[in-house]
Structure 1
């Protein structure tokens, strides 16, 4: 069964408050754009697919993110959103190891 936007939703707000590495109101904060809750993740834009992946990771309460080219192939707007998320995670105490061929991206995350 393919993943849909509703099946990839993050946990309730009460759970988010307990999480080590959270982004407030995860689903809304990630700003995943879908036409309806049953839309297949595979039909989302690359940036929105990447945000779904981050949402899934966040639900596991990670303390470490190993990110290899996290914004490769994304448009400028999606890159900015993903990098903002990474910086927010680092500010909250998560460790983020980023590999990127884009020097400006690495400078922004530092």
Structure 2
């Protein structure tokens, strides 16, 4: 992980909230979405949604774009791919360790 640790920590921290996870899920379709539509049906105010979006933006998970008077939010899927790559790397290390343990136990 090394020098990448602070970036990954910020990324996982941003994803560690149920509202922010819901927002990422709503944006996963790929099309930019207005803040008002993202806020629909969530158990928090539109102002709270804006604060959650600011956290996601700070972690580079979303990008805001002004279109006239409207602010649209887009997901940056490459950031999720970055997190997925790290998780896959950790999983591969565990798979290797478990395979070595299995070999050791079957040899003994």
TM-score, normalising length from structure 1?
Answer: 0.29
Structure having the higher helix fraction is: 2
Larger radius of gyration: 2
